[in-house]
Amino acid sequence: MIGLILLIAIVVIVVWGIGIYNALVKMRVRVDEGWSDIDVQLKRRYDLIPNLVETVKGYAKHESQTLENVMEARSKATAITVDASHATAADMAAFAGAQQGLSGALGKLFAVAENYPDLKANQNFLQLQNDLTDTEDKIQASRRFYNGTVRDYNTKVETVPSNIVAKIFSFTKREFFEIAEGEKENVKVQF
C-alpha cells in the first residue's frame, strides 16, 4: 500500500514537473517570437532610410551634415546586434541607445524637411515618411509585446514552485528592451 502511494506521488510530481517545463518552454518561445518581431521591424526601418535620404538629397543639397548624421546613426544601429536569449542589461542598453540615436537623427531630418515645401509635397517623400511612421509604431508595439512576454516569463522563472524546474533545466531571466531615459523626453529641434 505504501509503495502504491509512493508511486502515485512520484507520478504526480513528474507530471507536475512536465507541465511546468512545457509552460516555461512555451513562454520562452513567445519571448523569442517577440524579439524576432522587433528585429523584423528594425530591419524594415533600416531598409527605408537610404531611400529617404536619397529623396531628401535631391531637394536639400546643403543639408549634407544632417543626411550624414542619419546614415551614421543607421550604421551604428545596424552594427549592434543582440541575442536576446543571452543579452545582459548592458547589451540591451547599448542596443536601445543606438536605436534612440537613429530615431533622433530621423527626427532632425524630418524637421529639416519642413524648410523645403517642394520636398514636403513630393509623393515619394510623403510615402517614405508614412512608411517610416508606420514602422516606428510597429516597433513600439513589438517592444510592448516583447516586454510583456519577458515580464511573464521572468515571473514564471522566479516564482515558486516553477523556479525549481527553471533552475534544474537552466531557464534564465531575460532582459527587457526598455526605452532609454533620453527617449522619454520630447525631442528638441532648433534651427
Assigned C-alpha cell, 176: 527587457
Task: Kindly write down the DSSP assignment for every residue of 71-118, as one continuous string.
Answer: HHHHHHHHH----TTT--HHHHHHHHHHHHHHHHHHHHHHHHHTT-HH
Sole residue written with cell 530621423: 106
State in Å, rounded, how far the first CA of the chain is from the last one. 86
Spatial neighbors of 78 by CB under 8 A, at least 6 apart, are 46
Give the span between the Cα atoms of 24 and 116, in whole angstroms.
Answer: 54
Q: Residue 121: its pLDDT value, please?
A: 84
Assigned C-alpha cell, 19: 507541465
CATH class entry, domain 2-184: mainly alpha
Q: Residue 181: its pLDDT value, please?
A: 56
Assigned C-alpha cell, 122: 513630393
Give the span between the Cα atoms of 170 and 84, in whole angstroms.
Answer: 16
Tell me the domain boundaries of the chain.
2-184
Name the DSSP class of 114. Answer: T
Give the span between the Cα atoms of 191 and 179, in whole angstroms.
Answer: 26
Q: Residue 188: its pLDDT value, please?
A: 47
User: What string of pLDDT tens digits covers the 191 residues of the chain?
Assistant: 899 999 999 999 999 999 999 999 999 999 999 999 999 999 999 999 999 998 888 887 778 888 999 999 999 999 999 998 889 999 999 999 999 999 999 999 988 888 888 888 888 888 999 999 999 999 999 999 999 999 999 999 999 999 999 999 999 999 999 876 555 454 444 43
The count of residues in the chain is 191
Q: Residue 64: its pLDDT value, please?
A: 85
